[in-house]
């Protein structure tokens, strides 16, 4: 299965198992979504379970909160993460705090799915990775899978979770793993072990990182598309890198991350999002606090530049293998 | 009578495999809707939001109080701009398929809205377009080469490679930077108009969104601020029936017209045949005069049809009948103006064919020049260093460092 099919399967299973699950968003019903993730679901479950909505992200999130407060389990789609901001107030001020401010009397078990990330020539309005500004908000769980198996298991876990989950889908990974080299022929998920997805119900726990690749030279802490870019970059340098796929930014699996860094003594952190005050800063601070005496070299961050995502300079902006390799060489002191 | 609540889901008249159905479309005969004084109170002219202002009848005759009585040369200019817009769109869509540009959005069927409005407004009036208003640029005389260079993200790209194709801007032409986010420009146009009133300028602002985008909260902000401050602004909803796959009923068009949103805020609302060049021109002139003389803002709903796909990433055959556009009751804006001019004895098939050939050649020559300044894939290319400029007026230290890092990275890669 590719990631689109895996996500579709998760939604299908949850719509089938739980009559409270509703799916709503722009173009997601009859059309099946601009990325086809909801294809066939309205036909199967009807227009009261799979709802096309007006183009109003604030309205979509707010309506999902109200539905959630009245016993449903809404899965809202925001068509691109770049379009989530009209819903930001509802997410930050309402969805994230409803349980807290009502002392547990009210809650809204809403999942917000949204495609994120670059590499598709989408320019600044179809390429952003805004996970950090959600991870910064108390009361939201934040998830980003890097492969179809995790995508399905994490989405089912997110829907079953009683807390709100912001679920980022790296759109460049929908059809296959991407190692950052745009000139290489596309690789399908069918050729990748994580593309093997069981048809039935299963979960991948929220709050658990994965060791995407074991190694002893250096730890690379990353998530989303960058998992694949980092693997390729480390391979290119002949390094045995241990690659930690964070998968869940909140709650963060500090144990898995720090155990690895304590073992390797070296760490590179990589994400597509802008660097300044990005999620990498949280990771670096945490690792420094927990692993300072194990570190052989300063932690390095690899990220997108601190500019809007520029259409014409996609591959100069994107933190590709060269940028990752440069950070790895510094951390490994290879150029000395 | 229903006895309990049930979720209502707006009906979509026709899906693929079904026959087109426009029986729900409320029409008024050409010439039937009265033209009130520009000083009329919004609540006294509710009929404008409910009817459909039309000047051209099916035979191409201009009728009624909204007939703008434009001189034939002005009509011919309108026809030329609409035809140029269409040929430009057509060529760019074909080129996108060949991979030279990454993305495009056509305006087939909606040309009269942009062209007639641009011609009805003054050059110093400020325009806040959506991404489907290329006719504004054409009618204001922008060289096609400049638009093409933006589409190509090449060395002459006005956006310096930073924007997706079609998100143009034109400072000298008084056209604001187009956003890829929906409806954001609507309340911004109101703010521009408020500033014009504060500064004692007599220019007005105009903005455009699709009917689907009227669902965003910014639509409410625009109408509210325009009403509260009586801003000299024209707010246009281009009701082209489709928001990607979603029919206008999902934007609230099933219950009332989009023009009718205006009177609720104390703003004049006018529903106009968006494929009728004369009607769009007349209504725009009425609204501009109203704004310019302090009588207040106007919300115009242009009833039209998106003949094009949403974008080159979209396939409408998945969600509407393949030939739906051919059945649209309001016809084609270019054909209708052409028919009117021919009826006046001011146009002919021969002149039309000659104009088409001339404009096709103009588009072809512009393209040839544009690609000589580079394409997304072929040199010359913009310097990637430009990515770090204009984030701030002066580049802060962290961006200077990243700029240097990129240079080092590129010398390796």
Q: Reply yes or no on whether the pLDDT at B352 is more than 80.
A: yes
- Sign of the CA dihedral running B173, B176, B179, B185: negative
Look at the alpha carbons of A191, A192, A198, A199 in this order and tell me if their dihedral is positive or negative: negative
Q: Which of A126, A192, A201, A228 is catalytic?
A: A126
Q: Do A55 and B252 touch (CB under 8 A)?
A: no
Residues of B in contact with A59 (CB under 8 A): 215, 217
A181 touches chain B (CB under 8 A): no
Q: Closest approach of chain A CAs to the CA of B368, in angstroms?
A: 20
| pLDDT, tens only, A202-218 | 999 999 999 999 999 99
pLDDT of residue B177 exceeding 90, the answer is yes
Query: Residue B251, by phi and psi: left (phi above 0), alpha (psi -120 to 50) or beta?
Result: alpha
pLDDT at B413 over 90: no
A276 touches chain B (CB under 8 A): yes
Residue B24 pLDDT level (bands cut at 50, 70, 90): very high
Q: What is the DSSP letter of B55?
A: -
Cα(A25)–Cα(B287) distance, integer angstroms: 35
Q: Which pLDDT does position A159 carry in this prediction? A: 98
Inter-chain touch B213–A55, beta carbons under 8 Å: yes
CB-closest option in B9, B181, B384 to A47: B9
pLDDT score at B2: 73
Percent of chain B at pLDDT exceeding 70: 100
Residue of A nearest to B320 (CA): A31
Six-digit token string for A250: 């909140």
List of residues 6+ apart from B183 with CB closer than 8 A:
B209, B213, B214, B216, B218, B219, B222
Q: How confident is the model over A236-259, as pLDDT tens digits?
A: 999 999 999 999 999 999 999 999
Identify any residues that bridge with B38 across adjacent strands, giving them in sequence order: none
Length of chain B: 413
Name the DSSP letter for residue A121.
Answer: S
For residue A51, give the chain B residue with the closest CA: B9
CA A80, CA A89: separation in Å to the nearest integer? 17
Contacts of A316 (CB under 8 A, 6+ apart): B384, B387, B406, B410
Q: What is the pLDDT of residues B99-115, one digit of tens each?
A: 899 999 999 999 999 99
Residues of A in contact with B376 (CB under 8 A): 312
Does the pLDDT value for residue B1 go beyond 80? no
CA-based nearest distance A325→chain B, Å: 10
CB A148 within 8 A of CB A203: no
**A103 touches B at CB < 8 Å:** no
**Do A311 and B244 count as a contact with CB atoms less than 8 A apart?**
no
Min Cα distance B379 → chain A (Å) is 12
Chain A CB contacts of B217 under 8 Å are 56, 58-59, 86
Please name the member of B167, B181, B384 whose beta carbon is closest to the beta carbon of A83. Answer: B181
Tokens (6 digits) for A220:
């690379």
% of chain A exceeding 90 in pLDDT: 98
> Which residues in chain B are closer than 8 Å to A85, comparing Cβ atoms?
181
- The helix/strand/coil state of B155 is coil
Residue B273's nearest CA partner among B302, B239, B240 is B302
A27 to B103: CB separation less than 8 angstroms, yes or no: no
Question: Fold match between A3-195 and A210-331?
Answer: yes
Residue-range domains of chain B with CATH = 42-382 (3.40.50.970), 386-413 (no CATH)
- Condensed to tens digits (0 to 9), the pLDDT of residues B225-248 reads 999 999 999 999 999 999 999 999
Query: Do A319 and A275 touch, CB atoms closer than 8 A?
Result: no
Whether chain B has a CB inside 8 Å of the CB on A47: the answer is: yes
Q: Give the pLDDT band of residue B81 (cuts 50, 70, 90).
A: very high
CB-based contact (8 Å) between A139 and chain B?
no
| Residue-level pLDDT at A335 | 78
Q: Is A48 on the interface with B (CB under 8 A)?
A: yes
Residue A201 designated active-site: no
pLDDT tens by residue, B200-220: 999 999 999 999 999 999 999
Find the length of chain A. Answer: 336
Please report residues of A whose CB lies closer than 8 A to that of B398: 276, 306
Residue A336 has pLDDT above 90, yes or no: no
H or E element in which residue A238 lies: none
| Start-to-end C-alpha separation, chain A | 45
pLDDT in tens, B257-308: 999 999 999 999 999 999 999 999 999 999 999 999 999 999 999 999 999 9
Chain B contact present for A255, CB below 8 A? no
- What pLDDT score was predicted for residue A92? 98
Q: What is the pLDDT of residue B293?
A: 96
Burial class of residue A335, CB neighbours in 10 A (0-12, 13-18, 19+)? exposed
Cross-chain residue pair B318–A51, CB shorter than 8 Å: no
- State the count of interchain CB pairs (< 8 A) between A and B: 130
Chain B residues touching A47 at Cβ < 8 A: 9
- Closest alpha carbon within chain A to B392: A307
- Please give the Cα distance from B182 to B216 (Å, whole number): 8
Question: H-type helices in chain A, by residue range?
Answer: 3-17, 41-45, 57-69, 88-89, 98-101, 131-135, 148-160, 226-236, 254-264, 279-291, 314-317, 321-331
- Residue B263: its H or E element: helix B261-264
The per-residue pLDDT of chain A, averaged, comes to: 97
Cα A171 from Cα A191, distance rounded (Å): 18
In chain A, what are the domain boundaries?
3-195, 210-331
**Strand pairing class (A218-222; A267-274):** parallel
Measured between CA atoms, how close is A103 to chain B, in angstroms?
Answer: 30
Q: How far is B103 from chain A (nearest CA, A)?
A: 9
Please name which of B333, B298, B359 lies closest in space to residue B113, comparing C-alpha atoms: B333
- pLDDT tens, A286-331? 999 999 999 999 999 999 999 999 999 999 999 999 999 999 999 9
Q: How many CB atoms lie within 10 A of CB B1?
A: 2
pLDDT at B377: 83
Mutate to test the interface with B, among A37, A123, A312, A329 (most CBs of B within 10 A): A312
- In this prediction, residue A150 carries a pLDDT of 98
Which of B12, B398, B413 is the closest to A306 by Cβ?
B398
Tokens of B149: 């260079």
- Interchain CB distance below 8 Å, A308 and B313: no
Beta strands in A40-192 (DSSP E): 50-52, 73-77, 111-116, 141-143, 165-170
Q: What is the pLDDT of residue B122?
A: 98
Give the ipTM.
0.95
Tell me what pLDDT residue A59 has.
98
Which residues lie across from B175 on neighbouring strands?
Answer: B127, B170
- Closest chain B residue to A127, measured at CA: B164
Question: Does the structure show a pLDDT above 90 at A56?
Answer: yes
Q: Do A316 and B181 count as a contact with CB atoms less than 8 A apart?
A: no
Cα dihedral A302, A306, A310, A315, rounded to 10, equals -20
Does the distance separating the beta carbons of A123 and B167 come in below 8 Å? yes
The shortest CB-CB distance from B153 to any of A31, A311, A320 is to A311
> In the β-sheet with A141-143, what is the strand arrangement from edge to edge?
A50-52, A21-25, A73-77, A111-116, A165-170, A141-143, A248-250
Closest CA to B207 of B177, B230, B166, B250: B177
Report the chain A residue with the minimal C-alpha distance to residue B9. Answer: A47
Q: Is the pTM above the cut of 0.80?
A: yes
pLDDT digits (tens, 9 = 90+) for A62-108: 999 999 999 999 999 999 999 999 999 999 999 999 999 999 999 99
Q: Residues B37, B256: contact at Cβ < 8 Å?
A: no
Which fold is adopted by the domain A3-195?
Answer: Rossmann fold (3.40.50)
- CATH, range A210-331: 3.40.50.920
Q: From the list A26, A56, A276, which residue is nearest B398 (CB)?
A: A276
Examine the pLDDT at A184 and tell me if it is beyond 80.
yes
């Amino acid at each position: 299965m590719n990631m689109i099919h895996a996500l579709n399967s998760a939604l299908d299973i949850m719509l089938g198992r739980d009559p409270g699950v509703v799916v709503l968003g722009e173009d997601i019903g009859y059309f099946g979504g601009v990325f086809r993730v909801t294809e066939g679901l309205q036909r199967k479950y009807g227009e009261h379970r799979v709802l096309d909505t007006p183009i109003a992200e604030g309205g979509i999130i707010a309506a999902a909160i109200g539905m959630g407060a009245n016993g449903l389990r809404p899965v809202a789609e925001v068509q691109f993460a770049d379009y989530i901001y009209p819903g930001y107030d509802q997410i930050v001020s309402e969805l994230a705090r409803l349980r807290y401010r009502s002392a547990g009397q009210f809650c809204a078990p809403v999942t917000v799915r949204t495609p994120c990330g670059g590499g598709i020539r989408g320019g600044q309005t179809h390429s952003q990775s805004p996970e950090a500004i959600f991870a910064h908000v108390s009361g939201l769980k934040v998830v980003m899978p890097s492969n179809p198996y995790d995508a399905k298991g994490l989405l089912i876990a997110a829907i079953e979770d009683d807390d709100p989950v912001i679920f980022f889908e790296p759109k460049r990974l929908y059809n296959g793993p991407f190692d950052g080299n745009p000139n290489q022929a596309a690789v399908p998920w069918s050729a990748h072990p994580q593309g093997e997805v069981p048809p039935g119900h299963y979960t991948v726990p929220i709050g658990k990182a994965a060791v995407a690749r074991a190694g002893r030279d250096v730890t690379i802490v990353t998530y989303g598309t960058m998992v694949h870019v980092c693997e390729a970059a480390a391979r290119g340098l002949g390094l045995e890198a241990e690659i930690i796929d964070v998968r869940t930014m909140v709650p963060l699996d500090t144990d898995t991350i720090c155990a690895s860094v304590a073992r390797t003594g070296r760490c590179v952190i990589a994400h597509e999002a802008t660097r300044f005050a990005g999620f990498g800063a949280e990771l670096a601070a945490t690792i420094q606090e927990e692993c300072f005496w194990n570190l052989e070299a300063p932690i390095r961050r690899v990220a997108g530049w601190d500019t809007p995502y520029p259409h014409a300079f996609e591959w100069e902006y994107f933190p590709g293998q060269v940028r990752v390799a440069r950070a790895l060489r510094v951390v490994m002191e290879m150029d000395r | 009578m229903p006895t309990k609540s049930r979720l209502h889901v707006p009906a979509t008249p026709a899906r693929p495999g079904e026959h087109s159905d426009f029986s729900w479309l409320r029409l008024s005969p050409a010439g039937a809707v009265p033209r009130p004084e520009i000083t009329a109170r919004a609540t006294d002219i509710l009929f404008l939001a409910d009817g459909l202002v039309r000047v051209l009848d099916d035979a191409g005759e201009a009728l009624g109080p909204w007939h703008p009585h434009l001189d034939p040369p002005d009509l011919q200019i309108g026809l030329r701009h609409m035809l140029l817009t269409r040929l430009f769109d057509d060529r760019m869509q074909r080129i996108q398929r060949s991979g030279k540009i990454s993305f495009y959005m056509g305006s087939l069927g909606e040309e009269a809205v942009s062209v007639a409005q641009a011609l009805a407004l003054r050059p110093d009036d400020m325009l806040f377009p959506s991404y489907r208003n290329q006719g504004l640029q054409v009618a204001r005389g922008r060289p096609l080469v400049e638009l093409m260079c933006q589409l190509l993200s090449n060395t002459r790209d006005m956006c310096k490679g930073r924007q997706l194709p079609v998100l143009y801007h034109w400072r000298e032409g008084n056209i604001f930077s187009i956003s890829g986010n929906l409806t954001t420009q609507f309340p911004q146009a109101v703010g521009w108009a408020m500033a014009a009133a504060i500064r004692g300028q007599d220019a007005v602002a105009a903005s455009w969104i699709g009917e689907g985008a009227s669902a965003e909260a910014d639509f409410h902000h625009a109408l509210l601020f325009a009403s509260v401050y009586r801003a000299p602004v024209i707010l246009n909803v281009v009701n082209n029936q489709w928001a990607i796959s979603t029919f206008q009923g999902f934007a609230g068009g099933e219950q009332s017209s989009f023009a009718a949103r205006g009177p609720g805020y104390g703003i004049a609302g006018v529903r106009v045949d968006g494929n009728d060049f004369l009607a769009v021109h007349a209504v725009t002139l009425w609204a501009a005069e109203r704004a310019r003389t302090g009588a207040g803002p106007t919300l115009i709903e242009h009833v039209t049809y998106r003949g094009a796909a949403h974008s080159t990433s979209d396939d409408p055959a998945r969600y509407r009948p393949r030939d739906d556009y051919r059945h649209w009751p309001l016809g084609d804006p270019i054909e209708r103006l052409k028919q009117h001019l021919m009826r006046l004895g001011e146009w002919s098939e021969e002149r039309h064919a000659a104009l088409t050939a001339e404009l096709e050649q103009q588009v072809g020559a512009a393209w040839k020049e544009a690609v000589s300044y580079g394409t997304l894939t072929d040199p010359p290319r913009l310097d990637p260093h430009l990515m770090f400029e204009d984030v701030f007026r002066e580049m802060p230290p962290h961006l200077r460092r990243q700029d240097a890092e990129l240079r080092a990275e590129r010398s390796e890669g």
